[in-house]
Amino acid sequence: MGQRLNRCLDVPGALPPPLLPLKRRLLLLSIMLFLWLYMFYSCAGSCAALPGLAPRGSAPPEDSGPGEPRAAPAALSPISAFLNGSGSKRLPQAIIIGVKKGGTRALLEFLRVHPDVRAVGAEPHFFDRNYERGLAWYRDLMPRTLEGQITMEKTPSYFVTKEAPARISSMAKGTKLIVVVRDPVTRAISDYTQTLSKKPDIPTFESLTFKNRTTGLIDTSWSAIQIGIYAKHLENWLLYFPIGQILFVSGERLISDPAGELGRVQDFLGLKRIITDKHFYFNKTKGFPCLKKAEGSSKPHCLGKTKGRTHPDIDQEVVQRLRDFYRPFNMKFYQMTGQDFGWD
C-alpha cells in the first residue's frame, strides 16, 4: 500500500510547491515573534501578580496593622507599560499639603506644564476624609506615568489634619512635601471672602475674629484663624518628616516671581529647570501671573473666576490686632524653616 502511494505521488514532471516570497516570509516571522513576546511578558506580569509568587529573595508582604489600608500592588514594569501604551498608575512621590488659600492651585497648574510632572486635577482628600478606602483606591485616582515622571497631588487641608503626617509616612517615608504659605492675616481674609461668596448671610469678619471684642481675645477655634498658626501645625509634621523633606513656597513670591519659585520647586523635585520666565505673563485684571500656554493647550490660561476675588474692607484695628497675634507664631515659623517670609 505504501509503495502504491509513493508511486502515485512520484509523478514524473511534477513541480514542487512554489515558495512564499521573501518579504512575506519575513513579515510573518516578525508577527509571530511579536505575538510570542507579548504572550511571554503578559504571562510574566500575571504570574508576578499572583499571591505567593513573589520574586526569589524578596521579603514576604507584611500584614497591615489595625486601621491601616492594605498596601497597593507594585507598579507595572517598563515593558508592561510599553505594551499598555500609556504607562502605569503610581502612588504620588510628592504632595502639596497646604495651605488653603495660599496659592496651591496656582502652583499645581504651573507645575503641570513640566513634561515630567503628572498630577491629579481634583483634590483626593485621601489622608483626611477617604483614608478608609485604602491605598489601592487612592492609587487608582492618579494619572498614568512613564518611567522618570513624577506623580503628584494637592490637598491643602492635609497640613492642618492631625493624622495626615503619620498616614503619609506610612505610605512612603520618602514622600516629598510642599507647603505654600502666605501672610496669615491676608490668608484669613481670603478664606473668609471665599466663604462669604457661598454664604452671604454669615457674620462679619470682625465679629468672627474675636471671642470677645472688648477684651480683644482672638477666637483660635475659627478655622480661618487657626490655619494661619503655621508653626503649630509644622511641629506635628516634623514628628514624621525631616525639615529637609519639606519645601516651603512663598505665596507672595509665587505672584511676584513665579519663575523663581518654580525654579526652587523643580530643584526640590529633582527636575530639570524647564519652567522659566517665558511661560508666564502678568494679568493686570486678575492681579497675578497666568500661563502663556497651559498643559495640553496652545492658548493662554489663567486660573478660574473663583481666584483673585476682591476682599471686603476690614476694620484696620482688627487687622492690626491679628498681626500682633500672629507675630510670635510667625517668628517661630521663620526659625523652624530657616526662611524669613517678611510678613511683619
Q: Tell me whether residue 89 is annotated as binding.
A: no
Please say if the pLDDT value at position 215 is more than 50: yes
Q: CA nearest 180: which of 344, 339, 321?
A: 339
The residue that leads in pLDDT, 170 or 51, is: 170
101 annotated as a binding-site residue: yes
In tens, the pLDDT along 13-40 reads 444 445 456 777 777 777 777 676 656 5
Residue with the bigger pLDDT between 296 and 120: it is 120
- Give the C-alpha separation, 118 to 65, whole Å: 31
- As annotated, the active-site residues are 101
CA 33 to chain centre: 39
pLDDT range class, residue 303, cuts 50, 70, 90: confident
Tell me the CATH number for domain 81-337: 3.40.50.300
Q: Of 145, 126, 147, whose CA–CA distance to 135 is shortest?
A: 126
Q: What's at 70, amino acid-wise?
A: R
DSSP SS3 for 142: coil
**Residue 67 counted as an annotated binding residue:** no
The Cα 105–Cα 304 span in angstroms is: 10
Q: What is the rounded CA–CA span in Å between residue 247 and residue 80? A: 34
Where exactly are the structural domains of the chain? 81-337
CA 94/CA 234 separation, integer angstroms: 17
| Residue 104 among known ligand-binding residues | yes
Contact 175, 92 (CB under 8 A): yes
169 labelled binding-site residue: no
Alpha-helical (H) ranges within 155-275 are: 164-171, 184-198, 205-209, 223-226, 230-237, 251-256, 258-268
For 65-108, write each residue's pLDDT tens digit.
334 444 444 444 444 444 444 799 999 999 999 999 999 999 99
Q: What is the pTM of this model?
A: 0.74
Cα 338 to Cα 137: distance, rounded to the nearest angstrom: 37
221-233 pLDDT tens trace? 999 999 999 999 9
